[in-house]
């Protein structure tokens, strides 16, 4: 392969000026995180609206779409919104365990918000405004609010216990805001 004209064909003589970059043999000082955006503490920052880091979180979308035919929605609810909101909750659950999402994470999310059975009218009236339009990428903050409604302690429980309690008392494990 031909080389450009500016590439030297021979090694320069010792002491000759080279037109290529050469790094120093060693750095004088050790590198430290001093820029404003550097993470200096252990792990990712946490708190409301910050999300949860975990491996292969996007797989939750595939699992959610496979479960879509099992969901029971009210007439005013849209499947895309329900999947977007509950998938985000499932992603949080899987990240808390430090693993990729599995079907149990989606089962927990859909059960917590009562999407496997016909929910009571008053519960639907409280959950509907939460999920309205969260399927749109313009409503990321609203989707994060759904996730932040579910405490970590709840998500860390066994999926069978969460599903059983959610079926016995739809929305009982959550503090959903009252609809006005």
The pLDDT tens digits of the residues spanning 98-109 come to 899 999 999 999
pTM above 0.75, yes or no: no
Secondary structure of 18-46 as H, E, C letters: CCCCCCCCCCCCCCCCCCCCCCCCCCCCC
Closest CA to 150 of 44, 48, 43: 48
- Which of the four pLDDT bands, split at 50, 70 and 90, describes residue 132? very high
Every domain of the chain and the residues it spans: 59-168
**32 has pLDDT over 80:** no
> Measured between alpha carbons, how far is 130 from 82 in angstroms, rounded to an integer?
10
Give the mean model confidence (pLDDT) for residues 20-25. Answer: 67
């Amino acid at each position: 392969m031909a080389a450009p004209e500016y590439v030297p064909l021979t090694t320069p003589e010792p002491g000759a000026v080279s037109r290529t970059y050469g790094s120093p043999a060693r750095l004088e000082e050790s590198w430290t995180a001093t820029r404003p955006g550097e993470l200096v503490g252990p792990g990712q920052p946490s708190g409301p609206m910050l999300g949860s880091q975990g491996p292969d979180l996007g797989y939750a979308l595939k699992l959610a779409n496979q479960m879509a035919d099992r969901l029971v929605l009210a007439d005013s609810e849209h499947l895309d919104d329900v999947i977007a909101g509950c998938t985000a909750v499932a992603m949080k659950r899987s990240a808390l365990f430090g693993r990729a999402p599995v079907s149990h994470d989606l089962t927990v999310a859909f059960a917590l918000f009562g999407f496997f059975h016909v929910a009571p009218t008053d519960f639907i009236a409280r959950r509907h405004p939460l999920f309205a339009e969260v399927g749109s990428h313009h409503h990321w903050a609203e989707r994060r609010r759904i996730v932040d409604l579910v405490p970590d302690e709840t998500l860390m429980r066994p999926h069978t216990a969460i599903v059983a309690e959610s079926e016995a008392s739809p929305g009982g494990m959550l503090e959903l805001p009252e609809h006005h």
